[in-house]
Chain A
Amino acid sequence: MQETVVKCRRCGAPIEYTPDSIFVVCSYCGYTNWFVDESKVQIFVVPSKPRDKILEAFWNRMKKDSDMSKVVQELEVVDTYGIYVPIFISKVEVFSTWSGVEVRTVSSGKQTRVERIQREGKFSDKMLISIPARRTAEEFGLDELISKVSSLPPNYIKLEESNWDDIKLQVLNAEISQSEAVDEIKDKAEDLTRQKIKISNNLSEFNFYSCSTTVTEVNLLLVPLWIVTYKYKNGVYNTAISGYDLVFLKTTEPVFFRQRILNLVGSLVAVLVGVGVISLWLRNIGSFGNSNSSLFFVVVGLVCFIIAYSLSSTAISDVRVERWH
């Protein structure tokens, strides 16, 4: 059986090409093979640290972590791999006009009432938005890497000016062209702006929201993502590390028995606090009449019960997840 092999135009090594690859960066020599000439853009790379630095960072963290350091002897790294993920990053300017309803609880003395206030305004903002240049993709730590890239943009260099031999890793093909990326970035910027306006003005609903978006400087970055898989007592856990600054993006860690017990105790305390608050409310129901301020007590009491529920769920969960934010 014969299968067509696409070769790198510079060094001749086989490369993995699919029909909607915009380009393929050769993993051996770092040369960019373009397949869609009209979507040629400047590609930048955020150079990755080498594998031993990644592992060093992993062990340092495990030794410093108050829980993990006790079992560090029993940990074993089973797999380490790094990839360059193609990410579009772009400067976006938004200008928005909005009007909506703010719902406020106003209390004066023991009286509380709910007010609906019509509000409107204009909002403009500059932001950085990044999206992966891959379709419906998931990878451990990818979401965190993308939000990190847009909130703290890393230093990058032109791919052809990098010293590929020092920083080479497998490069994932980009599957989304720049024009598609611009549409997606606009969509994301509109949604984010609406959320921002909603939260900062405490709106419960919009009557009108219009947003005009200007996308400038779309860059394609290759950002290194490393996944370290480690073993503890036959269970496997993962750590995602950003390859350029060795920040831990997401880590799953075992839950120890002591932590389970602590969670259960916390759950018990939360129940008792809830009981106290609700019984106070029940006593005061007579004196407050139908006033709304008692609503506060009910909400606090129920929140305590919800906290108790989530603590006891955590007590029997399989991993603790720590995320970069």
Chain B
Amino acid sequence: MKQVKCPNCGASFEVIETASFTTCPYCGYTFNLQTLQEWVHYFFPVYFNQNSAWLKLKSFILRRYGVPHDFYESSNITNITLHYIPLHVFHTEAEATCQSGKGTATYHKVLDLAIPAYNGFWFDSLLRSHKFSVRGRIFFKPSVLERGKYYPPSISSESAKILSQSIVNSLVLREANESCKGYSRISKVDVNYVGLVHYPIWEFYYNYKNESYKGLIDGTNGRVMFVEYPLSREAKTFLLVSSVAIVAASSLGGMMIGSILVSNAILGIILGFIGSLVSSAPLLLTALSLKERGSEEISKKDSLLSTEEVASLIEKFAGFKTNIPVTFDI
């Protein structure tokens, strides 16, 4: 252990020898131990506490189709964890220039990116497309650590920066290639580190009739990110009966249509059968699944760039991340 002095409040405290960054336990100031420079560190406050998050999860499930009538009373929490998940935030701008017979054109892409700085959750893929609550984001406070499970970043800001650069480059190049048949290249790229953000996410495990289900809630805006829930026997029966009825009615109707229009009843039956299988697929799949799943949509998909798209790019480029380890000591 070694003694350090906080450049912000002047308090002295101990950190482990290998640490390169630390957060002052007295004032929450996070800084680089070598340069003593500030590491911009935010967190999002928890507006949804354990009870309100659990209520939100239940009321979300209750508005879904086919939830058992006794769900509200008969479901019990078995495990609940508040995770503070680190994300590196970047402001990126890139420009691509294309040269073609028609002339030269430039294209721009401006993007704010949040790169998850810790891997190993079963919900890693959900984090990649996560958007922040419009409310919140305040200076990191050490008191946060007492309330939830805190994860120091295991992916350094440098490798996240390389990742962000690859993402914005590939997006602007794609835009150039879609707009111009010629030779395109990146002519400018600018990646600014906004800072490290710790984001609160509730992970729930609950029981209903001896079966375990899980759910994830955004701790700041209460959005249901993911949930599993049971379907009642009546709902399953209704879905099965309806899909069988649809298939039967379509085959019968198809037979009539086939014989009237083209005087070929067999053809009509076959077409009706295929069409109704397609159309009743959502009912059948729901009826036959063991656990139903859902998530809450808040914003509509951006028509120009969806968050899923960014998520898939993170996944793609993360393959060559350099993963420079950063030791954090909190």
Q: Is B139 close to A, CB under 8 A?
A: yes
Q: Are B142's CB and A1's CB within 8 A?
A: yes
Q: Are B268's CB and A208's CB within 8 A?
A: no
User: Known: A184-B110, A188-B304, A209-B180. Contact between A236 and B56, CB under 8 A?
Assistant: yes
Residues of A within 8 A of B194 (CB): 20, 135
Q: Are A140's CB and B112's CB within 8 A?
A: no
Residues of B within 8 A of A188 (CB): 304
Contact of B180 among A16, A184, A208 (CB under 8 A): A208
Q: Are A308's CB and B278's CB within 8 A?
A: yes
Q: Is B60 close to A, CB under 8 A?
A: yes
Q: Is B26 close to A, CB under 8 A?
A: yes
Given the complex of chains A and B, what is the CA–CA distance between A172 and B25 in angstroms? 28
Q: Is A3 close to B, CB under 8 A?
A: yes
Q: Are A275's CB and B275's CB within 8 A?
A: yes
Query: Count of B residues near A, CB < 8 Å?
Result: 86
Given the complex of chains A and B, what is the CA–CA distance between A186 and B93 in angstroms? 12
Q: Are A267's CB and B279's CB within 8 A?
A: yes
A interface footprint on B212-247 (CB within 8 Å = 1, 0 otherwise)? 000000000101000000000000000100100010
Interface of chain B: mostly helix, strand, loop or mixed? mixed
Q: Is A224 close to B, CB under 8 A?
A: no
Residues of A within 8 A of B318 (CB): none
Residues of A within 8 A of B258 (CB): 275, 279
User: Known: A191-B304, A206-B178, A271-B250. Contact between A231 and B275, CB under 8 A?
Assistant: no
A interface footprint on B118-148 (CB within 8 Å = 1, 0 otherwise)? 0000000000000111110111011100000
Q: Is B181 close to A, CB under 8 A?
A: yes
Residues of A at the B interface (CB closer than 8 Å) are 1-4, 16-20, 83, 85, 97, 99, 132, 134-140, 142-144, 172, 175, 180, 183-184, 186-188, 190-192, 194, 205-211, 231-237, 254-255, 260, 264, 267-268, 270-272, 274-276, 278-280, 282-283, 304-305, 308-309, 311-313, 315-319, 321, 323
List 8 additional A-B contacts (Cβ < 8 Å) besides A20-B194, A136-B114, A313-B282.
A18-B138, A187-B110, A206-B178, A210-B105, A235-B64, A282-B267, A312-B283, A315-B283
Residues of B at the A interface (CB closer than 8 Å) are 9, 25-28, 40, 42, 56, 58-60, 62-66, 72, 89, 91, 93, 100, 102-110, 112-114, 131-135, 137-139, 141-143, 175, 178-182, 194-195, 221, 223, 239, 242, 246, 249-250, 253-254, 257-258, 261-262, 264, 267-268, 271-272, 275-276, 278-283, 286, 294, 297-300, 302, 304
8 contacts between A and B (CB under 8 A): A138-B134, A138-B298, A206-B180, A207-B100, A208-B102, A268-B276, A279-B258, A316-B66
